[in-house]
Amino acid sequence: QLVESGGGLVQPGRSLRLSCVASGFSFDDYAMHWVRQAPGKGLEWVADISWNSATIGYADSVKGRFTISRDSAKNSLYLEMTSLRLEDTALYYCAKNGGSSGLDGMDVWGQGTTVVVSS
Amino acid sequence: DIQMTQSPSSLSASVGDKITITCRASRSITNYLNWYQHKPGRAPKLLISAVSRLQSGVPSRFSGSGSGTDFTLTISSLQPEDFATYYCQQTYSHPTFGPGTTVDIK
């Protein structure tokens, strides 16, 4: 199970930190992802982090503004979002990688946390 | 980045119909192709990974095929619970999703 939190209403240019707490599986064994869905739009991958934090990737749309991290002691995944823009408004999901590679897909998803960027 | 396209963008069908959704990648992704089902207010659900690997608990009426750049998702006999939006996703490089195909009731 994955449970996201930290969403809310924020002004453009400000920052927000999302959290995702994992349970029911060995968090340390899997890569994790953030995926978002803007209102009326499709799914957009945002960032991912390997099981040991050695490999991190970002979508071009958030590179340099968002930072993904994880804390194995807390079974938690984070997304630090800075310099927020109107277009960052979305429902943000965390998702677990199904196995050791992309061939496994994202097999567990949270219910999402909503971020609204507005003045 | 690898771009994904899907067709059709939407379709109307009846219970019992066979439907096929097509997904195309802008370059070869070998077999790094996954399919998701997404219903309003729910988390996306992984249906198929690695082109054709049905996830545990997913009914056998769902199937996937393809390789390289062209892929399909087929539902052999549409059920009421299958009305949803379906996304393909490549994970050959940084993941990208297709724009989605919405399946609604005719």
Q: Is the pLDDT of residue A117 over 90?
A: yes
Question: Which whole-number Å values give the CA distances from A50 to A32, A36, A79, in the listed order?
Answer: 7, 19, 14
Question: Which whole-number Å values give the CA distances from A119 to A10, A89, A106, B104, in the listed order?
Answer: 8, 12, 34, 36
Sheet of B70-75: strand order equals B4-7, B19-25, B70-75, B62-67
Closest CA to A117 of A6, A7, A12: A12
Residues of chain A contacting residue B91, judged by C-beta atoms under 8 Å apart: 101-103, 105
Residues of chain A contacting residue B49, judged by C-beta atoms under 8 Å apart: 98, 103-105, 107
Question: Which whole-number Å values give the CA distances from A46 to A95, B8, B14, in the listed order?
Answer: 11, 25, 35
Confidence of residue A103 (pLDDT cuts 50, 70, 90): confident
In chain A, what percentage of residues exceed pLDDT 70?
A: 100
Write out pLDDT tens, residues B24-65: 999 999 999 999 999 999 999 999 999 999 999 999 999 999
CA-angle at B12, arms to B10 and B14, nearest 5°: 145
Size of interface A-B (CB pairs under 8 A): 67
